[in-house]
């Protein structure tokens, strides 16, 4: 298939790109840079940017000959130069409408699990794109699947790097939300494989992309620590005022995932039945520790 992959230079996008190439697909990959990367075998790069490409007419020429579209664009912080409303909602909505007009056969939108009841800017902008896509799906104008992953873990991920740093600490002081919140971390390789498999299917309308087991973030960090051969760490609860202060300080460091919106999102459940993922993959999803020990995967 010829696949337009939006967000090909991001964490999830890079793994998707590798999977698509390995399976023999022709990839048209987007880059927001003024000078996209050099094209290589099986990949053609074009410049596209959800911050400014808000009209379906801009996307229509890019969809010539395209069989499927995957949108893996996302940001963790709302910044003036990278506004969430444009990147998560308005840009994707223009792309979806262009796909419907052009008769693109398949559209996959990578959203997020645990945003249904959150009023954060991240959740609201993601939900707005979901609503637009579902409206086109229900109108019979698109064959689309909304993919909602829990925490995605693997090489090159900002959250993965943060959890690995925490896993190496002998003493952990975590917000109460991190001790209570249940997540179902998913290996990024499994997410990429699931997306590639969905290209050749009709539906489902929605897929909760989750790993094999639900666990608290504290337990996830403990399992990473065990995989690294470390003794169990001492874990304590960070006082609420200090948690909120650390989140405000995290907002000043846009290169890492911790901030006030992250703290708020930790209060939402982030789990689902893994059976649909297992059926799609034809095997149980891998534990996220598998990339630390590939031989055990």
Give the pLDDT of the chain (297 residues) as one tens digit per residue.
Answer: 999 999 999 999 999 999 999 999 999 999 987 777 888 888 999 999 999 999 999 999 999 999 999 999 998 888 888 899 999 999 999 999 999 999 999 999 999 998 988 888 999 999 999 999 999 999 999 999 999 999 999 988 888 888 899 899 999 888 887 777 889 999 999 999 999 999 999 989 999 999 999 998 889 999 999 998 889 899 888 888 888 888 788 777 766 677 777 777 777 778 999 999 999 999 999 988 877 765 444
**pLDDT reported for residue 126:** 96
pTM: 0.91
Query: How far is the C-alpha of 160 from the C-alpha of 187, rounded, in Å?
Result: 10
Q: What is the pLDDT of residue 159?
A: 83
Question: Which CATH number is associated with domain 2-155+185-212+270-281?
Answer: 3.40.50.720
Position 258 scores a pLDDT of 75
Backbone angles phi, psi at 216, to 5 degrees: -70, 160
């Amino acid at each position: 298939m010829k696949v337009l992959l939006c967000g090909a230079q991001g964490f999830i996008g890079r793994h998707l790109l590798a999977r698509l190439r390995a399976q023999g697909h022709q990839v048209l990959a987007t880059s927001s840079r003024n000078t996209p990367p050099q094209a290589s075998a099986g990949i053609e790069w074009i410049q596209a940017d959800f911050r400014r490409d808000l009209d379906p007419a801009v996307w229509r020429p890019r969809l010539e000959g395209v069989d499927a579209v995957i949108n893996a664009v996302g940001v963790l912080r709302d910044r003036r130069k990278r506004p969430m409303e444009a990147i998560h909602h308005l840009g994707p909505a223009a792309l979806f409408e262009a796909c419907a007009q052009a008769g693109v056969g398949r559209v996959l939108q990578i959203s997020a699990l645990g945003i249904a009841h959150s009023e954060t800017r991240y959740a609201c902008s993601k939900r707005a794109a979901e609503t637009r896509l579902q409206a086109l799906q229900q109108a019979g104008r698109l064959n689309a699947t909304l993919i909602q992953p829990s925490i995605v873990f693997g090489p090159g991920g900002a959250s993965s790097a943060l959890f690995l740093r925490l896993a190496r600490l002998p003493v952990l002081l975590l917000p109460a939300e991190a001790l209570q919140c249940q997540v179902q971390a998913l290996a990024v390789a499994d997410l990429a494989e699931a997306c590639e498999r969905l290209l050749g299917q009709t539906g489902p309308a929605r897929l909760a992309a989750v790993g094999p087991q639900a666990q608290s973030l504290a337990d996830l960090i403990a399992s990473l620590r065990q995989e690294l051969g470390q003794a169990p760490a001492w874990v304590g609860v960070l006082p609420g005022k200090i948690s909120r202060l650390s989140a405000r300080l995290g907002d000043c460091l846009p290169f890492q995932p911790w901030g006030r919106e992250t703290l708020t999102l930790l209060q939402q459940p982030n789990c689902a039945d893994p059976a649909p993922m297992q059926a799609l993959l034809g095997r149980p999803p891998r534990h996220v520790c598998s990339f630390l020990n590939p031989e055990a995967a």
